Amino acid sequence: MSRDDDERGAALKVLDVLDALSAYAVNGVSNAALAKQLNLSASNITRATRLLIEKGWARKDETTGHFHPTPRMARVFGRVMADLDRADQRLAEIRHNFTRTN
């Protein structure tokens, strides 16, 4: 297996963990539960969550040991929705220009 394949696999695992975390905003999720859900080893989950925490996408509740997504995920979703709203507005303008009568 090449280094590129290794890096791709690691990146995909991180993205899988990020995706799974999105379902646990309130109570968080344990390392073991994520490992079971994603069929990954606990060490893979630890590496992925370490990177997500480092980049601000996840946090660890030191009381429970559970991982949670951070507001960064919501902000990204908000930016996607804002872009879609801008596209809707632009399409509405185009539609209006095609349907108005002079």
CB 60 within 8 A of CB 66: yes
Residue 1 pLDDT: 62
Q: Give the pair of three-digit tokens for residue 48.
A: 């992925």
Question: Around Cβ 66, how many Cβ atoms within 10 Å?
Answer: 17
pTM of the model: 0.78
Residue 99 pLDDT: 87
Q: Token pair 């390392």 is at which residue?
A: 31
Residue 25 pLDDT: 93
Reading the chain (102 residues) residue by residue, the pLDDT tens digits are 677 677 888 899 999 999 999 999 999 999 999 999 999 999 999 999 999 999 999 999 999 999 999 999 889 889 999 999 999 999 999 999 988 776
Could you tell me which CATH number the domain at 1-69 has? 1.10.10.10
CB 50 within 8 A of CB 65: no
Residue 7 pLDDT: 85
Residue 102 pLDDT: 64
Domain range annotation of the chain: 1-69, 71-102
Residue 100 pLDDT: 78
11 vs 5, 81, 94, CA distance in Å?
Answer: 10, 25, 40
Please state, in angstroms and rounded to a whole number, the distance separating the CA atoms of residues 31 and 74: 22
